[in-house]
Amino acid sequence: MQAVQGLHHITAVASDPQANVDFYHHVLGQRLVKKTVNFDDPGTYHLYYGDEIGTPGTIMTFFPWRHMKRGRLGNGETAAVGYGIRPDSVDFWRKRLAAFNVAVGEVQTRFGAVVIPFEDPDGMRLELVTTTDPATIRPWHDGPIAEEHMLLGFHSVTLWLDEVDQTGQLLVDQLGYERVGQEGARTRYRGASDDVGLFVDLLHRPGEPSGRFGAGSIHHIAFRTVDDGEQQEYLAALRAAGQQVTPVQDRQYFHSIYFRSPGGVLFEIATDAPGFLYDEPLDELGTNLKLPVWYEQHRPRIEAALPVFELKEGEAGGVA
């Protein structure tokens, strides 16, 4: 079985969709590549952001529930998402975040990289992490950020855990990750490819309280698999190892299986195919409300119930 190549997508909870779109699309320059609904709750959007086409390893997705109370971060959760940037882009991003009144935390050094911490409008923790690894993203040239400073897809995620050994074992034995470093309570694992989204960091916080789910919480992280056949191999291997894994779910743009890590974090394994061009051409990605076929007959009612939001026009290549 092939080792997992890295992260596929990350799914989190937001409150106000307009604030979410303004931040990810306009401030961070992540293209809204799909506008659809929560398949279990079609009165709620499911918004997908990424590079120009939503390449696996760049895909951040949100369920914006307008009245959702803010969560409280704790053990058993994905606590932070790191996006890669070029070392030359540190000043650009500090200025850009300041220009949009985004508070930036104390800049850190981690495994030799500069880390700039900040939060999204719902308090979700984000980081910009410098990297010199080759960028495999598809640059979004119609966005607000010049190519030299664009976010380079996911660099890493940080999981807060009461225990780290069992989760580390799962990453290595079942998903083919390699343990590549330790700094204090943080252990780093690397996926097996040269693409983006390679690193999973486990932060050992024994005895600390669990999180409370809400706006700003990360619901799950998804790992990449090439195709349905390989996903079946993971499914069989995980079940043989005693994991409780869901059957394959059709998520329209990928196929998914879910299981909970020993530390409590929800993991998914998602296929690269079919991707976001499956039901929209490249130049229209994210501009139409896409519904799965079983909701099409209810489209007028669904559209009427969803809150309206607007995409701000970007100033291509501008600083702010």
Q: What is the contact surface with Zn ion in residues (CB under 5 A)? A: 11, 222, 268
Give residue for tokens 């789910």. 213
Of the two residues 149 and 251, which places its CB atom closer to Zn ion in the complex?
251
Distance separating alpha carbons of residues 185 and 115, to the nearest angstrom: 17
62 close to 220: Cβ distance less than 8 angstroms: no
Of the two residues 60 and 80, which places its CB atom closer to Zn ion in the complex?
60
CB of residue 272 to Zn ion, shortest distance in Å: 13
CB of residue 256 to Zn ion, shortest distance in Å: 6
Of the two residues 144 and 216, which places its CB atom closer to Zn ion in the complex?
216
Question: How far lies 60's CA from each of 81, 105, 284, in Å?
Answer: 10, 22, 19
CB of residue 11 to Zn ion, shortest distance in Å: 4
CB of residue 265 to Zn ion, shortest distance in Å: 13
CB of residue 221 to Zn ion, shortest distance in Å: 8
For residues 53, 54, 57 and 61, what is the CA-based torsion angle, rounded to 10 degrees?
Answer: 170
Distance separating alpha carbons of residues 71 and 69, to the nearest angstrom: 6
Question: Which residues, other chains included, contact 16 with Cβ-Cβ below 8 Å and sequence gap of 6+?
Answer: 64, 66, 121
Of the two residues 77 and 268, which places its CB atom closer to Zn ion in the complex?
268
Cis peptide preceding 274, ω within 30 of 0: yes
Of the two residues 222 and 245, which places its CB atom closer to Zn ion in the complex?
222
